[in-house]
Amino acid sequence: MSKLVIVGTVAFDTIATPFGKTDKILGGAAIFIGLAASQFDIDGAIVSVVGGDFPKEYIKMLQNKGLDVTGLDIVESGKTFFWSGKYHNDMNTRDTLVTELNVLADFKPKVPEFYKDAEVVMLGNLHPMVQLSVIEQIPVRPKLVVLDTMNFWMDNALKELLQVIAKVDVITINDEEARQLTGEYSLVVAAKKIMTMGPKYVVIKKGEHGALLFYDDEVFYAPALPLEVVFDPTGAGDTFAGGFTGYITKTKDYSYENLKKAIIYGSTLASFCVEKFGTERMLEITEKEIHQRLRQFKSLTQFDIELI
Write out the residues near a copy of itself by the rule CB under 8 A: 89-91, 185-189, 206, 209-210, 212, 218-221, 223, 226-230, 257, 260-261, 264-265, 291, 294-295, 298-305, 307-308
Distances (CA, A) of 38 to 104, 112, 237, 271: 24, 18, 16, 16
Query: 90: closest CA among 209, 180, 264?
Result: 209
Shortest distance, CB of residue 121 to a copy of itself, whole angstroms?
Answer: 24
CB 217 within 8 A of CB 188: no
Query: 128: closest CA among 153, 99, 100, 110?
Result: 153
Which lies closer to a copy of itself via its Cβ, residue 66 or residue 210? 210
Shortest distance, CB of residue 192 to a copy of itself, whole angstroms?
Answer: 8
**Separation CA 95–CA 86 (nearest Å):** 5
Which lies closer to a copy of itself via its Cβ, residue 135 or residue 190? 190
Phi/psi for 203 (5° steps) reads: -110, 120
Which lies closer to a copy of itself via its Cβ, residue 98 or residue 307? 307
Rounded to an integer, what is the distance from CA 250 to the centroid of its chain?
Answer: 16
Bridge pairing between strands 218-222 and 211-215: antiparallel
- Can you list the positions of beta strands (E) in the chain? 3-7, 11-17, 20-21, 25-27, 43-51, 67-68, 72-75, 81-87, 94-100, 120-123, 144-148, 170-174, 201-205, 211-215, 218-222
Which lies closer to a copy of itself via its Cβ, residue 167 or residue 256? 256
Query: 1: closest CA among 114, 170, 146?
Result: 114
Shortest distance, CB of residue 298 to a copy of itself, whole angstroms?
Answer: 7
Shortest distance, CB of residue 19 to a copy of itself, whole angstroms?
Answer: 11
CB 249 within 8 A of CB 41: no
Which lies closer to a copy of itself via its Cβ, residue 60 or residue 291? 291
Shortest distance, CB of residue 264 to a copy of itself, whole angstroms?
Answer: 6
Which lies closer to a copy of itself via its Cβ, residue 140 or residue 305? 305
Shortest distance, CB of residue 308 to a copy of itself, whole angstroms?
Answer: 6
Which lies closer to a copy of itself via its Cβ, residue 83 or residue 254? 254
CB 267 within 8 A of CB 223: yes
Shortest distance, CB of residue 207 to a copy of itself, whole angstroms?
Answer: 10
